[in-house]
Amino acid sequence: MLPCISIIFVLTPDTRDVSSEPPAARLSRPREESLAYHSAAGRAPGIIFLGGFLSDMTGTKARALEAYARGRGQAFLRFDYQGHGESSGRFEEGSIGRWAEDAITVIDELTEGPQVLVGSSMGGWIMLLAALARPERVAALLGIAAAPDFTEDLLWQRFPEEVKTEIETQGVHYEPSDYAETPYPLTKRLIEEGRRHLLLRGAIPLTCPVRLLHGLRDPDVPWETALRLAERLESRNVEVILVKDGDHRLSEPADLRRLEATLDRLLAGLAEG
């Protein structure tokens, strides 16, 4: 039985522009590594954007959210995981656990007070892991096509046997992408390490407010994932918003307005609470 979940169906279309990019700041990490980030000072709760698999912090949603936060006078942070965007390291050496550590590190070292985590695709998995690690710092969660457990449920379990054999024997498989010209690497490390962080197999002990936006036409992460996640969360304050003609990115102008409206209501609820 779903715990107090609202499901709202909406449609999409429209247009919007985002400002040019200033230079990124850098957070030093061990072994001469560093994480690139952009931040804006403001009031609490702060908003942290967590990007998707192979995405970076210069995307439409990340920058639109920064403009939104600045307009409200809300603190804001966006960053690149290890091996992504402007951060150091090789993507092939990354893993779900490592990228979750990156998120926890920026919460600990670059923010103060309560935070609202906004996770897109893989970032939805990362935001859950970060919230489990720092529940006292996380005021609310907002997932955009959240993809917890995707390495197992959406990759490994759907791979043909020849791809599984290639990963097992060679340590990597290069998968064609609809979002890039060159194939991207899926490593044995990514799959095996991801299994240590699976969340949808049991209850998820998070009790903060959660909002989940998901497109019914998402070709990458089935919209049913949002319902599975809502059911697993212990929070009694969960809303699932299904966008009838929404894709995986949910970055069209109407999608951005919906995202901002959802944040408006979420932040208003936190202020009242």
Domain-embedded: residue 210: yes
Domain-embedded: residue 175: no
Domain-embedded: residue 157: yes
- pLDDT classification of 14: cutoffs 50, 70, 90: very low
Domain-embedded: residue 185: no
pLDDT one-digit tens code per residue, 153-187: 999 999 999 999 999 999 999 998 877 788 999 99
Question: What does each C-alpha distance from 273 to 206, 249, 269 come to in angstroms?
Answer: 17, 31, 6
**Is residue 29 predicted with pLDDT exceeding 50?**
yes
Residue appearing with tokens 């290890």:
82
Which residues of the chain form beta strands (DSSP E)? 5-10, 25-29, 33-40, 43-50, 74-79, 115-120, 138-144, 172-175, 184-187, 210-215, 238-243
Domain-embedded: residue 167: no
How far is C-alpha 114 from the geometric centre of its chain's CA atoms? 18
Give the mean pLDDT of the chain. 92
pTM of the predicted structure, to 2 decimals: 0.92
pLDDT one-digit tens code per residue, 187-243: 999 999 999 999 999 999 999 999 999 999 999 999 999 999 999 999 999 999 999
**Is residue 93 predicted with pLDDT exceeding 90?**
yes
- What distance in Å separates the CA atoms of residue 35 and residue 94, rounded to the nearest whole number? 13
What percentage of residues in the chain have a pLDDT greater than 70? 93
Comparing C-alpha atoms, which of 78, 83, 149, 147 is closest to residue 117?
Answer: 78
Domain-embedded: residue 40: yes
Residue appearing with tokens 């209850």:
203
pLDDT one-digit tens code per residue, 120-151: 999 999 999 999 999 999 999 999 999 999 99
Tell me, what's the pLDDT at 177? 80
Rounded to the nearest 10°, the torsion over CA 46, 17, 120, 257 is: 80
Comparing C-alpha atoms, which of 257, 243, 247, 253 is closest to residue 213?
Answer: 243
Which CATH number characterizes residue 143's domain? Answer: 3.40.50.1820
> In terms of residue numbers, what domain contains 47?
5-161+202-272
Domain-embedded: residue 173: no
Q: Hey, which residues are catalytic here?
A: 121, 218, 248
Count structural domains, the chain.
Answer: 1
Tell me, what's the pLDDT at 102? 98
pLDDT one-digit tens code per residue, 72-86: 999 999 999 999 999
Domain-embedded: residue 76: yes
Tell me, what's the pLDDT at 63? 95
- pLDDT classification of 30: cutoffs 50, 70, 90: confident
DSSP assigned state of 204: B
